[in-house]
Amino acid sequence: MFSVVNAVKSRLAIGAVVIPFALSLTGCGKSWDGRYEAVGYRSGEVVLEIKGSTAVRSRFQYGSLSFASEFSVEQKSDKVIFSLKGGDNATYVYAQAADDRGLKCISDSCDSMFSPLSKEWVRVDKK
């Protein structure tokens, strides 16, 4: 009976080390969730709100919503990837901006004149 108890304790100890390590490798890093404003527009004119696996880009004119697009979001520890829902198959890859809060596009898809997302976003909510 003594050896059974020791074996169980050993397995629990191994699990206590292995499980947190495995979780750290699954992309459970930085959360990109929050509210961002597009660089180059007036404050509050073009807004991107990220929450989990969805993001909504909204454009406001004269205080009213004039247009909104929905994106699916894949969050990684060092980048976030957007895909327009119901649109083309382009993906838009962003990394953390120099201010450690905003987003900066690192894929060529943002260079298009008709890109639905701006090249840079500044975080405006507090976290």
Q: Where are the domains of the chain?
A: 1-29, 34-123
Return the number of other C-beta atoms located less than 10 Å from residue 34's C-beta: 17
**pLDDT at residue 126, as a whole number:** 62
**Pairwise CA distance, residues 59 & 122, whole Å:** 15
CATH dotted code for 34-123: 2.40.128
**pLDDT at residue 10, as a whole number:** 52
- pLDDT over 90 (residue 98): no
Average pLDDT, the chain: 80
pLDDT in tens, 12-46: 444 444 343 333 334 455 789 999 999 999 999 99
CB 92 within 8 A of CB 79: no
Residues 74, 76, 82, 83: is their CA dihedral positive or negative? negative
- pLDDT over 80 (residue 11): no
What is this structure's pTM? 0.71
**Pairwise CA distance, residues 102 & 6, whole Å:** 50
